[in-house]
Amino acid sequence: MAATHNFVCEQGATFSRQITWLDSNGAPLDLTGYTARMQVRATVDASSALFNLTSGAGDITLGGAAGTITIAISATATAAVAAGCYVYDLELVDGATVYRLLQGEFEVDAEVTR
């Protein structure tokens, strides 16, 4: 089952977060050979994504044996999204196996300086 974690993103600023996927003993899981994908949507049922991030596009970087997952969204991209509270999930893919690692709210705080 996916863990719940809420993110806060500042509109118009670069968003960057690093997490580490750990096994039940607290040791990092080796992500070598995995790919990752994450979407942020207005609602679970929204037809389009506000952010569509993938390891293939370089928005998500996987740290191999260190088990790290770095998510990055440019300041230009965050500036283009209205302030508000959205939903997201993060999936890791190993061949035909998909792990839904995280889910939760993705809040965008309004930018004052433009």
Contact indicator for 100, 2 with CB cutoff of 8 Å: yes
Percent of the chain with pLDDT over 90: 97
Q: What is the CATH number of domain 3-109?
A: 2.60.40.10
Question: In the numeric block, which tokens belong to residue 44?
Answer: 């679970």
- Place 38 in a pLDDT band, splitting at 50, 70 and 90: very high
Exposure of 69 in the CB half-sphere (CA atoms within 13 A): 22
Partners of residue 17 on adjacent β-strands:
71
Query: What whole-number percentage of the chain has pLDDT above 70?
Result: 100
Q: Give the single-character DSSP code of 90.
A: E
102-106 average pLDDT score: 98
Q: What pLDDT does 1 receive? A: 87
pLDDT at 114: 79
pTM, entire model: 0.93
User: What do you get for the CA distance between the two ends of the chain, in Å?
Assistant: 40
Q: Alpha carbon of 44 to those of 30, 66, 87: distances in Å?
A: 30, 31, 7
Residue 4 tokens read as 């719940």
